[in-house]
Amino acid sequence: MVEVLTPAIERICARHVATHIKAEHYPAVAEALLPAIKDVLGDAVDEKVLAAWGEAYWFLADIMINRERALYADAA
């Protein structure tokens, strides 16, 4: 199912490498993104929904971190 995202993931990862985004930046994004989701959606987001967003974020982040690692290696 994630294959439908492959073109977008490739574009994002290429941009991340071009702008020097590293794996160690992903936790900071999660720390900002998840509270922002709660702030914007308010009562529509309970702990279960927020946990699901966190799980989805880290699932995608892991894919991107691995792809970016390969792109950095290819560029070296």
Return the active site residues: 26, 68
CA angle 55, 57, 59 (to 5 degrees): 65
Give the burial class of 24: count Cβ atoms within 10 A of its Cβ; 0-12 exposed, 13-18 middle, 19 or more buried.
exposed
Tokens 């894919």 map to which residue?
63
